[in-house]
Chain A
Amino acid sequence: MKWRSLIIAALRSIARNKLRSLLTMLGVIIGVGAVIALMALGRGSQADIQAQIAGLGTNLLIIHPTSSQTSGVRAGSGTLNTLTMDDVALLDTNAALLQEVSPVIRVQEQVIAGNSNWNTQINGVSVSYQAIRNHVMESGDFFSERDVKTRNKVAVLGKTVANELFPGQNPVGAQIRIRNVPFTVIGVMQSKGQSSMGQDQDDIILSPWSTVLYRLSDGKTVRTIMASAVSETQMEEAKAEIRTLLREAHRIPPGGDDGFDIRDQSEINEMLTRITGTLTMLLSAIAGVSLLVGGIGIMNIMLVSVTERTREIGIRMAVGARPGDILLQFLIEAMILSLIGGLLGILAGVGGASLLGKVMGTAIMVSPLVIFGSVAFTAAVGIFFGFYPARKASRLNPIDALRYE
């Protein structure tokens, strides 16, 4: 039995019933298409998120106090569960693995400019914060060390705040009032867009930490410390260093609770990747079910085909086809049917994904692995669901098959 003639015979019999073959393939086409489109969407959004996180700075470390500070009972003598400017200074001078350190003092306030007002978040930070978060200025300047030292009442606006308070104008040089304290706008930052968590990263005002801490906040509490490690590859070492320094400064006995938490982007990255990965898998599994249904469709049609072609099977057996030859013939036919369906499905999937990506505005990533995987899977579907009909055909009695009307 020659493979070439087997494949030609299978293609011929598929071509003989074009409409029926196409309808049979439809299940596989939709199944494969859906799997590929969803995987492409899922991977695309994963890549989107990763790119955004990388935009934040991959060497970013965020230190914030844990909630244990609220359960006062747990605080032993000498423990300090909040972060202070002393901690910032300590890390800035003593941590060898940290490049930049900045406090973040966070105040939510109503901001007034002329006759418009806007509720936003005012972050008191140090000069190095611009470098840590990769903020690029659209107009004006970021504040300077001198501003920090003199607790200057200057403000750098995020794009959203600038648009809300000064629609259609350049706010640089203008005055805004935060809790009746007048601030001078000295710069506007370029838009950073939404964060991976869906927050507007431009709805923000940056001011020198000293100004915010002593004029707007309680003069003591630092909500968060942001730092950049010297290298992406030394994140864990940097974390360990911070932990040692802070535990020492806070005089936490060995075995005691840190009272603070250090996060880097890789954790957030991992978490988000896991979430989108789970979602992608879930959706793909649903799409996979339709692939399964498609396979059953192929089995159904192959069974019909075996019955319809009983006489042909009889003829082939009479002229010397072994049962194995008949089995192979129908198996190959089922496989080709599902493979063609799979190939059309890949086209449908890639096309559908790019269409969806355009409509939804998300990135699309078609991975070759998924394509190879689905081709292999459809071939397996063909073999699996083609086997029963093919075996049925091969077990026909040649005499009965020849007499079949």
Chain B
Amino acid sequence: METIVLRDLKRTFAMGDTSVHALRGVSLTIARGEFVAIMGTSGSGKSTLMNLLGCLDQPTAGDYFLDGVHVSRLDRRQLADIRNQKIGFVFQGFNLLPRTSALENVELPLLYDRSGRIADPQRQALAVLEQVGLGDRVHHEPARLSGGQQQRVAIARALINQPAILLADEPTGNLDTHTSVEVMAVFQRLNAQGITILLVTHEPDIACYAKRIIELRDGLVVRDEPVAAPHLADRDLLTWPENGSVTGGGRP
């Protein structure tokens, strides 16, 4: 069962007279339940691909099927509904609403949910916060939460609509290594429950927690292979050196 099918996806940006080809034809298939890391240096086109996958942007050419919906020809309104129903976002900068409690932040997508799938928003929000291990901090505002906790609120927010895919754009970019691994442990646990996860990162240490790695360079896929033996974040956390330096080589 394919969740994502990309066929010869192209995205060109017009920069004055010249045009920049950010994606030159990407074809991919991602099945339900996968945990994929998309890697690449800056300028490789991974952010552009992320925006397209997240329905924040439209391809110049090619087809994109998300959960059976041909999304490459939808208008802004329909894209908004797709983002609401099928996609959960996790960003590098957490992107939580300031001065708004964790619970309300998590409930935010349901504010725009017109399907009425979730009968009791607050109960659902509490459930997903529990799922990411923040059941005891639901009324905290982002400023009173640590970076790792904020990112877990963001993950809970991404999960509340029971999306087809969870898109994480450099989710560990603002976190120290230990917290990064903690966040990866959350992702692995969610993936084990059957949630499809796409992770964009430029750090190989983070990518190795995924089950499959896709590497982009100059707008083309140059590598697409399963990870033979993905690291297990929970195990790494158990064996984490007690006095290991956060910035040093403590990463497993």
Contact call B95/A315, Cβ cutoff below 8 A: yes
Given A315-B108, A322-B76, A322-B77, 4 more contacts at CB 8 Å?
A318-B54, A318-B89, A320-B84, A320-B113
B97 within 8 A of A: yes
C-alpha gap A335/B220 in the complex (Å): 49
Cα distance A399–B83 in the bound complex, in angstroms:
13
Contact with B along A375-405 (1 / 0, CB 8 A): 0000000000000000000000011001000
Taking a contact as CB atoms under 8 Å apart, the answer to whether B97 and A318 are in contact is no
User: B6 CB to closest chain A CB, in angstroms?
Assistant: 18
Which chain A positions have C-beta within 8 A of B109?
Answer: 319-320
- Cβ B111 vs Cβ A2 within 8 A: yes
Contact between B57 and A399, CB atoms less than 8 A apart: yes
Q: Are A315 and B97 in contact (CB under 8 A)?
A: yes
Residue A146, interface by CB 8 Å: no
Check: A151 CB closer than 8 A to any chain B CB: no
**Interface membership of B91, Cβ < 8 A:** yes
- B194 to chain A minimum Cβ distance, whole angstroms, is 22
Kindly list chain A residues whose C-beta atoms are within 8 Å of the C-beta of B91: 318, 402
Contact among A1, A12, A398 with B112 in the assembled complex (CB-CB below 8 Å): A1
In the bound complex, do residue A318 and residue B95 qualify as a contact, i.e. CB atoms below 8 Å apart? yes
Question: Contact mask A299-327 → B, CB, 8 Å, 1/0?
Answer: 00000000000011011111111111100
> A16 interface residue, CB < 8 Å from B?
yes
Q: Is A5 an interface residue (CB 8 A)?
A: yes
Q: Which of A1, A316, A323, A398 lies at the interface centre, i.e. has the most chain B CB atoms within 10 A of its CB?
A: A398
Q: Is B237 an interface residue (CB 8 A)?
A: no
Residues of chain A with a CB closer than 8 A to B161's CB = 320
Size bin of chain B's contact surface: 20 to 34
Contacts of B96 in A (CB 8 A): 315
* B binding-site residues for A, Cβ under 8 Å: 51, 54, 56-57, 76-77, 80-81, 83-85, 89, 91, 95-97, 99-100, 108-109, 111-114, 157, 161
* Chain A interface, >50% SS class: helix
Of residues B76, B77, B80, B91, which shows the largest number of chain A Cβ atoms within 10 Å of its Cβ?
A: B80
Complex contacts, B84 vs chain A, CB 8 Å: 319-321
- Do residues B108 and A316 form an inter-chain contact, with CB atoms below 8 A? yes
Asked if residues B77 and A319 are in contact (CB atoms below 8 Å), the reply is no
> Contact at B95–A314, with CB atoms within 8 Å?
yes
Are A320 and B85 in touch, CB under 8 angstroms?
A: yes
Q: A16-B99, A312-B97 are in contact. Are A320 and B81 (CB under 8 A)?
A: yes
- CA separation between A261 and B77, bound complex, in Å? 74
A323 CA to B83 CA, complexed, in Å: 13
Contacts of B113 in A (CB 8 A): 320
B96 nearest CB across to chain A (Å): 8
Specify which chain A residues have a CB less than 8 angstroms from the CB of B54 in the assembled complex: 318
Asked if residues A1 and B77 are in contact (CB atoms below 8 Å), the reply is: no
The residue that A325 contacts in the complex, of B51, B56, B85, B112, with Cβ under 8 A, is B112
Q: Which 6 A-B pairs have the closest CB atoms?
A: A320-B84, A319-B109, A320-B112, A322-B80, A320-B83, A321-B112
In contact, B56 and A318 (Cβ under 8 angstroms) = yes
Looking at the complex, which one of A322, A398, A399 makes contact with B81 (CB distance below 8 Å)?
A: A322
Contact with A402, one of B95, B99, B108, B111 (Cβ below 8 angstroms): B95
